[in-house]
Structure 1
């Protein structure tokens, strides 16, 4: 039997293609405030937390500006925008097989908790995951993805030697390293890691099917 009994997943760019919905809501937020973004709103900005991304897009950390933009973003994304989220091909089957094999699955994402739960419900995936962690699950907000993974593992008594983290960005790999977890890179998403970004001990997978086989059989 595979040693990977606990599989922790990133969400955006790993399980779901959320870029079109997220980008549309960012554009609506800037249009609603009459502000022009300081940088181009494209797939390169998807992944970091909302406020951090707004700092980049707005070119300022002014709380009044950021709060206004965040309010418009949430009003768009949390009502109808999230419904445009699509699952990557093969991910639903991967989750079905992993859950059916008795693996324990969890989410550790930079996405806010509320839309994360909405999306999982929308896709019919909520039942696959034992728990869902986001930076804003706790007050005060968790400082980093590495801290979030550590908290998830501690709260649920998840041992590192039978666990793995799956993500699509270098931050995900570094967060796995910080918690002494193997990192499996999902290279099918928009945050795809290129070879020069990959640490030598990380493993890359070009499809959910290939990742599934590794998780079940390695």
Structure 2
């Protein structure tokens, strides 16, 4: 069966409210201006370092302070799950794919500790055979290496026999450079029009995903 690898933030979970709360708590601790949820959502996808590079630039904070801000943020972020929600239909879609025999993996720029905390919070800790997080490798998406690592663990490295499910520019660029077809979830954290992102198929509801995977898996590589 075709392995299916998933992104996490903006694809399986809407974690922006928790990230927003942790960001603003960190900013308030140093008497810096806070940001709106929509603004923080725009900065999500590239991992914690990219998030804070964008925040520091947006608020004209001295870049020298970034490392301390990241450290303070991580103390809040490690276990932040209270405001995060699964997108509708995610649990059912994952169950249907697993029942059909598809090996499932995760490839995210989120660090491993908060990744596992969120999976445990939603009872998904045992769903994924492999997890490649933002601190698992020296590279992060959009570099292809994290997705290659997930596919190698699930499919022995045969990229033509895997699918990637993601929501953002980072996911589209990663999938394209990795040579893995992308199924684009259109209700995540994407900033550009769907038509501008390379993808094999797009969907806006997870009840469509199992049939979409089946149809793409049946196509010749």
Task: Give the deviation of 1:72 after TM superposition.
Answer: 2.0
1:93 maps onto 2:92 in alignment: yes
Classify 1:187/1:38 alpha carbon distance in 2 versus 1 (closer, same or farther; 3 Å).
closer
The answer as to whether partners of 1:55 and 1:61 remain within 8 angstroms in 2 is no
The answer as to whether partners of 2:52 and 2:66 remain within 8 angstroms in 1 is yes
The answer as to whether partners of 1:41 and 1:57 remain within 8 angstroms in 2 is no
The answer as to whether partners of 1:33 and 1:68 remain within 8 angstroms in 2 is no
- Match runs of 1:122-133 below 5 Å: 122-133=121-132
Task: Give the deviation of 1:190 after TM superposition.
Answer: 3.2
Equivalent residue for 2:12, pick from 1, 11, 15: 15
Inter-partner Cα distance in structure 2 for 1:20 and 1:216: 33
1:142 maps onto 2:143 in alignment: no
- TM-score, normalized by length of structure 2? 0.86
For structure 1, the residue ranges without an aligned partner over 5 or more in a row are: none
Instruction: Look up the SS of the partner of 2:129 in the other structure.
Output: strand
Task: Give the deviation of 1:160 after TM superposition.
Answer: 1.5
Show the counterpart of 1:161: 160
Task: Give the deviation of 1:209 after TM superposition.
Answer: 1.1
Instruction: Look up the SS of the partner of 1:107 in the other structure.
Output: strand
Task: Give the deviation of 1:5 after TM superposition.
Answer: 1.2
Task: Give the deviation of 1:192 after TM superposition.
Answer: 6.6
- TM-score, normalized by length of structure 1? 0.87
Show the counterpart of 1:207: 205
Inter-partner Cα distance in structure 2 for 1:31 and 1:114: 24
For structure 2, the residue ranges without an aligned partner over 5 or more in a row are: 217-221
Equivalent residue for 1:53, pick from 48, 51, 62: 51
Instruction: Look up the SS of the partner of 1:165 in the other structure.
Output: strand
Count of equivalent residues: 210
Instruction: Look up the SS of the partner of 1:8 in the other structure.
Output: strand
The answer as to whether partners of 1:205 and 1:211 remain within 8 angstroms in 2 is yes
Show the counterpart of 1:69: 69
1:30 maps onto 2:31 in alignment: no
Instruction: Look up the SS of the partner of 2:106 in the other structure.
Output: strand
